[in-house]
Amino acid sequence: MSTAGKHRPTAKPRRHRSWKRIAVGVTSTALLLITATSGVAVLKVNQLEKKIGILDTSELDNGNRPKAVKQTDTSATNILIMGSDARTGAGNSGYGYVAGARSDTTLLVHIYEGRKSALAVSIPRDSYVTIPHCSTSNGGSIGPWTTKFNSAFAFGGPICTIKTIEATTGVRVDRFVVLDFNAFKQVVDAVGGVQVCLTTPVYDPYIHGVGGSGLNLPAGISTVTGQEALQFVRARESLGDGSDISRIQRQQEFISSMVKGIKAKGVLTNPGRLYSILSAVTSSLTTSRDFGTISKMQDFALSISGMSLHNIKFTTVPNEYIASGNVGWLPSAKLLWASIRKDKQWPPVPKPKPSTSGSPTAMPTASPSVSPTVKLVTAPSDVHVIVMNASGKDGLGYAASNSLRAQGFIIDNVTSTTRILAATKVRYNASYSEGAKTAAYSARTSELIEDKSLDKAVVVVIGKDWKSARAVNIDSNNGPINGPGAGTNVISAGDSICSAGNNRTKS
C-alpha cells in the first residue's frame, strides 16, 4: 500500500511531462503542415497565374481616353466583359469551324461608388457604330470605320473593342475580361450549375451545316450544366423572335440567375470556393493587369460581396432596328452613358412635370378602357409582352414587336394565329392589369380582355388596324418618364424570370 502510494506522486509529473511533449509535438506538426500547405498554395497560385492571358494595353493610352477615376476597393469602376466565340483552344473545338473570333456578347458593367450596386449594360453586336483607328494582330491597322460593333473584336481584338466603346460612349473602361466558350462552361460547372426557367419546353436540335444549339429542356425550372448553359445563351433563331436582341434578354436572365446562385452559395465570401472557380477558368481567361493575379481577382470579388441582388441591374442600350440588319441606338442611349459617367442611377429618377391646371397631367385621348382620366402607373420597362399576329399579314408580328420594344416593352415571344382580327386587342391576367393598360395605350387599342390562363406577360393581339406603338407617359410619385426608350428594359438579379421556349419536344 505504502509503496503504491509513494509511486503515485512521482507518476503525475511524468504524465504532465508526457502531455507537454505531445502538445509540443502536435503544435510542431501543425506548424509544419501549415507551412507546407502554404507553400503548396503559393505554388498553385503562381502556376494558375501563369495561365492567365494578360494583354498589353499601351495602345489605349495613345489617344484621348475618358478621364480615369482613382481605383480603390470602394471606388466606382467600369468592367468590360467580352464573350469570345473563338473555336481554337481547349474545350472550344466542338462548335464548328468558323475562322477568327467575334465578341457576340459584350457587357459593360458599372459598379457604383461604395460598391453596393451595379448596372450591367448589354451592347448589341449589330450596333452600327464608328470603330476608331486600331492596330491588328498582324501588324496592320483598321479604322476609322462605321460598321457593326462586333467587327471591332473580329479585326482588332479586345483593345479595339475598348477603344470603340470609349470613343462612342465617353465611358472609361477600367478593367476587362475576355471569356471563351470553355471558360463560360467551367464557371457554370464550378458553381454547381445554374437554374433556368422556361414557360414552355424547348428543343433546338443541332443540324450539321444548318445550325441549332442542341438545347433540349422541359418547361419549368431546370438546373443546367456548363454545356447546357452555353446552348441556352447561344440559341437564337429557334427562340423568342429569333433576333440577337431577344437572345441578349435571355442572356441577361441567365446571368441574373447565376449571380443569384453565387450569392446564395456564398462563393464571393469563401476564398476556397472562389479559388476553385478561378482555377477552373484561368487557362481560358484573357484580362488586363488589374485582374492579372488570383489575389487581385479575389480582392475585387470580396469588395463587391456585400451587394444586394436587387441592386444588381441589367439593361440593354436603348435601340431600334435600322437598315441592313443593323441596330441603331436611340437618343436615350446618350442619357444612359451620361448617367454612367456621372455615377448616377439608371433609369434616372424623373422630375415631376408641372401642370398648368394644378392637377396631375392628364393622359392624351385614348380609349374607354384607357381613358384620359386614368393615369398609367406602370412603365413599359416593367411590362412583359407576347405579340400575337392576327392581322393576316406576314411579318407584321415582328414589326409590331420591334415597335413595342422601341418604346421600352419587354418582348417575351412573337407568335401568330390563323384567326384574323380587324382590331388589335390586349389580353391579360387581372394581377397585371396596370401593365395591360400601359400596353393597350401604346398599342392604340381600347380592347382589354381578362384571361386567367395568362401569367405576368400580357398578349398584344395584332389586328388589321395595327399602325405602330406610341410613346407612353407614366404618372408616378416621381413624375412622368417620356419618350421612346426612356422606360428602358431593366431587370435585377433578384427577379425570378421565365424565358419563352419554342414549345417543341424531342420525339
Q: What is the pLDDT along the chain (507 residues), one digit of tens a residue?
A: 444 433 334 444 444 445 445 554 544 444 444 334 444 444 444 556 666 788 888 899 877 899 999 999 999 999 999 987 754 444 444 444 444 455 678 999 999 999 999 999 999 999 999 999 999 988 899 989 999 999 999 999 999 999 999 999 999 999 999 988 888 888 899 888 999 988 889 998 888 777 788 899 998 899 999 999 999 998 877 776 677 888 888 888 899 899 988 888 888 777 777 777 777 777 777 888 888 777 788 788 889 988 988 899 999 998 888 888 899 998 889 989 999 999 998 877 655 445 444 443 333 333 334 444 456 878 888 889 999 999 999 889 988 998 999 888 989 889 999 999 999 999 998 878 888 999 999 999 989 999 988 888 899 999 999 999 998 877 543 333 333 344 446 888 887 778 778 888 887
In DSSP terms, 83 is beta-bridged to 105, 179
d(Cα 384, Cα 387) in Å, to the nearest integer?
10
Instruction: List all residues 6 or more positions away from 177 whose beta carbon is below 8 Å from its beta carbon.
Output: 79, 80, 81, 82, 285, 286, 287, 291
How far apart are alpha carbons 238 and 148 in whole angstroms?
23
Q: Is 383 exposed, middle or buried (0-12, 13-18, 19+ CB in 10 A)?
A: buried
Domains of the chain: 58-341 (3.40.630.190), 380-487 (3.30.70.2390)
CA dist 458 and 57 (Å) reads: 47
Cell (9 digits) for 23: 502538445
**Quick one: cell of 13?**
509529473
Strand ranges inside 278-435, DSSP E: 285-287, 312-316, 319-321, 327-329, 384-389, 410-416, 425-428
CB atoms closer than 10 angstroms to residue 245: 22
What pLDDT is recorded for position 273?
A: 76
Distance, CA of 81 to CA of 287 (rounded, Å) = 9
Identify which of 127, 166, 490 has the alpha carbon closest to the alpha carbon of residue 330.
127
Phi, psi angles (nearest 5°) of residue 303 = -70, -20
At 170, the amino acid letter reads G
Tens digit of pLDDT for each residue in 451-495? 988 888 899 999 999 999 998 877 543 333 333 344 446 888 887
Q: Is 45 exposed, middle or buried (0-12, 13-18, 19+ CB in 10 A)?
A: middle
| DSSP letter, residue 179 | E
CA distance 115 to 305: 9
The position carrying cell 412622368 is: 480
Residue 4: predicted pLDDT: 41
Q: What single-letter amino acid sits at 221?
A: I
Percent of residues, the chain, with pLDDT higher than 70: 78
pLDDT of residue 306: 86
State the amino acid at position 456 in one-letter form.
Answer: K
Nearest Cα to Cα of residue 321 among 410, 385, 399, 413: 399
pTM for the predicted model, two decimal places: 0.66
Written as one letter, the residue type at 387 is V
Residue 380 carries which DSSP code?
G
Cell numbers describing residue 162: 475598348
Q: In this structure, are residues 461 and 308 in contact, taking their beta carbons and an 8 Å threshold?
A: no
Residue position matching grid coordinates 496592320: 140
Q: So what's the pLDDT on residue 86?
A: 55
* Nearest residue to 88 (alpha-carbon basis) of 79, 101, 75, 77: 101
pLDDT of residue 400: 92
Between the CA of residue 172 and those of 81, 333, 346, what are the distances in Å?
A: 14, 16, 17
Cβ 101 vs Cβ 85: under 8 Å: yes
Which three cell numbers mark 471?
410613346
Beta strands in 125-166 (DSSP E): 128-131, 134-135, 141-142, 145-148
pLDDT value of position 48? 60
Question: How many residues make up the chain in this entry?
Answer: 507
At a CB cut-off of 8 Å and minimum separation 6, what does 33 contact? none
Residues contacting residue 307 through CB under 8 Å, at least 6 positions apart: 115, 116, 117, 118
Q: Is 37 exposed, middle or buried (0-12, 13-18, 19+ CB in 10 A)?
A: exposed
Task: Say how far residue 139 (Cα) sits from the centre of its chain.
Answer: 34
Q: Reply yes or no: is the peptide bond before residue 380 cis, omega within 30 of 0.
A: no
Write the single-letter amino acid at 86.
A
**Distance between CA 235 and CA 211 in Å, rounded?**
9
- 201 close to 504: Cβ distance less than 8 angstroms: yes
364: left (phi over 0), alpha (psi -120 to 50) or beta: beta
Q: How confident is the model at residue 101, as a pLDDT?
A: 52
Strand stretches in 85-193, DSSP E: 103-111, 118-122, 128-131, 134-135, 141-142, 145-148, 175-179
